[in-house]
Amino acid sequence: MGRRWRDGTGVLVVHGEGGASVRVPLEIAGSYRARTKGLLGRDSVEGAMLLSPANNVHTFRMRMPIDVAYLDRRLTVIAVRTMRPGRLGAPRPRSRHVLEAEAGAMAGWGVRVGARVEVVEE
């Protein structure tokens, strides 16, 4: 079994090329209840939200388009998608965790297929 996080806050560290990294405020949804709610009912999000464990998401009742990054057990990005409200994402068999953020944010942070991220809990 992989790493289990508790509900709370932290920092997402996106490791880029040349050793540079970007630090992003992070909300952690580790419980069933927190994962089920996710970003539903919000107009915006400061930073990102980690859903763990998770291998797919939906945007029903979502108020905004979101970026979704699927992470494997080693926190390597295996897919990144932008989803409009009212969509159902396809399950990713190798995905163990999902990151959600406002649409367009992940590209600015360097979250792309093959990128490694780190979660630092507060």
End-to-end CA distance of the chain: 23
The conformational region for residue 35 under phi > 0 = left, psi -120 to 50 = alpha, else beta, is alpha
Q: What is the pLDDT of residues 71-114, one digit of tens each?
A: 999 999 999 999 999 999 999 999 999 999 999 999 999 999 99
* Tokens at 113, concatenated: 């297929």
Q: What is the pTM of this model?
A: 0.93
Q: Are 5 and 50 in contact (CB under 8 A)?
A: yes
* Tokens at 59, concatenated: 């945007």
Pairing of strands 97-102, 66-71: antiparallel
